[in-house]
Amino acid sequence: MTPADLSRTVLHTVRRAVEDDELRAPVPERVSVRVPPRPGCGDYATNVALQLAKGGDRPALEIAEVLRRRLVARPGIARVDIAGPGFLNITLDAASGEEIVREVLETEFSGEALALRPLGAEEVARLGSDAARWSLLSPPGLDRSLLLVQKDSNPLFRVRYAHSRSRALQRNAHDLGFGPSVGPLDRTADTLLGALADHARITAARAPERLARHLERTADAFLRWQAGCSVLPRSDEKPLAVHRARLALAEATGKVLANGLTQLGITAPAHL
């Protein structure tokens, strides 16, 4: 289930609750679902109960409970929790993670570069074209000299390193005689899957700064995930289905990072 699918599912759930007279509130034209800012809060969150409370006759927490009961019965949804004043935190089942990876791998992303303001010759001479372009997208106060060092403090380095790491995993797996295959993933991949699922929505907005922050989140999620699990077999271990599934996730991540960097006019090196 992609974010767009989940948004439609939540909207349909609201509409059915209103039609069944369990809720009395105007049905919104659309429902927003977003990746929560912190791990452990589900795969996606929505404030639809708070929206409905503004035009309805019940408090947000009661509306959230009505929607929670209905949503948790829908295919593809494993769990729904109510947080704060009425946010719904939604956890998808494992099959949804497989759908996200498969959709990324099958999607032909646009390679069209986004328009940025022209680079100054002095900036290019000092930073190089890639770092100079990233500097245009950096938040105020960032020390631009950080973009020249290969350290974790350099966001551009983390994004490009994550891409090169995903490519290295593909090469190493090929040398071991196996390839990726979409399959079940455990919950440690949830944050990364959420970032991948968000890629199409964020690129559609065609907002370069937003895309740069998304690439940082994706790269950081990937680096944490692959550091905590074995993507490749160890020593004499034979490749298992879990290795193939993790390799498919790594490949999907590399594809998303490469696409995002390309849209920003920045190279995505296979080796770094």
Work out the average pLDDT over 227-236.
91
Q: Which of 27, 61, 92 is the last residue of a domain?
A: 92
Percent of the chain exceeding pLDDT 70 equals 98
* Claim to verify: residue 174 and residue 239 sit in the same structural domain: yes
Total count of domains within the chain: 2
Is residue 253 over pLDDT 90? yes
Percent of the chain exceeding pLDDT 90 equals 56
* Claim to verify: residue 82 and residue 100 sit in the same structural domain: no
* Claim to verify: residue 118 and residue 239 sit in the same structural domain: yes
Q: Is residue 79 part of a domain?
A: yes
* Claim to verify: residue 182 and residue 124 sit in the same structural domain: yes
Q: Of 34-38, 101-105, 161-165, 253-257, where does mean pLDDT reach its minimum? A: 34-38
Q: Which of 65, 92, 119 is the last residue of a domain?
A: 92
Confidence of residue 9 (pLDDT cuts 50, 70, 90): very high
Is residue 226 over pLDDT 70? yes
Work out the average pLDDT over 198-224.
91
Instruction: Select the highest-mean-pLDDT range: 35-49, 116-130, 188-202, 240-254.
Output: 240-254
CATH of the domain at 200: 1.10.730.10
Q: Is residue 271 part of a domain?
A: no
* Claim to verify: residue 104 and residue 128 sit in the same structural domain: yes
* Claim to verify: residue 174 and residue 202 sit in the same structural domain: yes
* Claim to verify: residue 151 and residue 255 sit in the same structural domain: yes
Q: Using one digit for the tens of pLDDT, what is the confidence trace for 164-187? A: 999 999 999 999 999 999 999 887
List C-alpha distances in Å: 80 to 47, 73, 199: 13, 10, 23
Confidence of residue 115 (pLDDT cuts 50, 70, 90): confident
Q: Is residue 268 part of a domain?
A: no
Q: What is the DSSP string of 207-228?
A: -HHHHHHHHHHHHHHHHHHHHS
Confidence of residue 95 (pLDDT cuts 50, 70, 90): low
- Residues in a beta bridge with 91: 79
Beta carbons of 14 and 5 less than 8 angstroms apart = no
B/e letters for 138-160, b = 16+ CB within 10 Å, e = fewer, are: beeeeeeebbeeeeeebbbbbbb
Is residue 202 over pLDDT 90? no
Distance CA 71, CA 220 (A): 30
Residue 23 structural domain: 3-92
Q: Which of 51, 68, 92 is the last residue of a domain?
A: 92
Distance CA 188, CA 50 (A): 30
Work out the average pLDDT over 23-37.
87
* Claim to verify: residue 13 and residue 143 sit in the same structural domain: no
- Residues in a beta bridge with 46: 88
